[in-house]
Chain A
Amino acid sequence: EAQVTQNPRYLITVTGKKLTVTCSQNMNHEYMSWYRQDPGLGLRQIYYSMNVEVTDKGDVPEGYKVSRKEKRNFPLILESPSPNQTSLYFCASRQGGGMNTEAFFGQGTRLTVV
């Protein structure tokens, strides 16, 4: 089954404790991205990657890092999480960076930083 898998689905952590949210897709998609979704603000792109070893900032990259060492994986790293990073996070992938391809989203990771 074609899917994007994120882990963990839920996470409560403390300020400053490094964490990684994993994202994996089995569709051989080139393009992957991370979003955060906050009430009243909608989905905002954090980082994206057009292929292995190619990453770029989205609209809200501050406080986040990503890596793309393999095509299927695109982890999101919070080196020193802060309470303002409490949010619902989605990973997405699509074939190519073209604007007319469907984006497939993971099931989301609800992160709380206390």
Chain B
Amino acid sequence: RKEVEQDPGPFNVPEGATVAFNCTYSNSASQSFFWYRQDCRKEPKLLMSVYSSGNEDGRFTAQLNRASQYISLLIRDSKLSDSATYLCVVFASGGSYIPTFGRGTSLIVHP
């Protein structure tokens, strides 16, 4: 079983829709979690960190469920410009400097 798993999609949604992605991780000792966004053929860029209590940044909400070992990303009022691949990133405990990236979930927002 891969350490970090994401549904590759694509998720095909109309503008204005709400869409949610999950990312499951296998290491229960994982400590830090992030969502990155990657546009086609471009470098990944940090979208948001994921805090234990959940956090929101505009239309984006990230949540952590330690009991079920997954993080989620909710996008409200989808825009065409939200079309991208969303990568989840997990750091295990013990000071590991090797992050584990999920394979990414592709989102396509259409008019």
Stretch at the interface among B59-67, B68-76, B96-104: B96-104
Contact A43 B43 (CB under 8 A): no
| Number of A-B residue pairs having CB atoms within 8 Å of each other in the complex | 46
Q: Does B29 contact A (CB under 8 A)?
A: no
The prevalent SS among residues of B at the interface is loop
Contact of A90 among B32, B43, B99, B102 (CB under 8 A): B43
Min CB gap B26→A, angstroms: 15
Contacts of A66 in B (CB 8 A): none
Size bracket, chain B contacts: 20 to 34
Question: What residues of A have a CB within 8 angstroms of the CB of B22 in the complex?
Answer: none
**A58 contacts which chain B residues (CB < 8 A)?**
98
Question: What 1/0 flags go to A15-58 for Cβ under 8 Å of B?
Answer: 00000000000000001010100001111110010100000101
A53-79 Cβ-contact flags toward B at 8 Å (1 or 0): 000101100000000000000000000
Give 21 CB contacts A-B under 8 Å: A33-B97, A40-B103, A41-B103, A42-B102, A42-B103, A42-B104, A45-B99, A48-B97, A48-B98, A56-B97, A97-B97, A99-B31, A99-B32, A100-B32, A102-B46, A103-B46, A105-B43, A106-B43, A107-B42, A107-B43, A108-B43
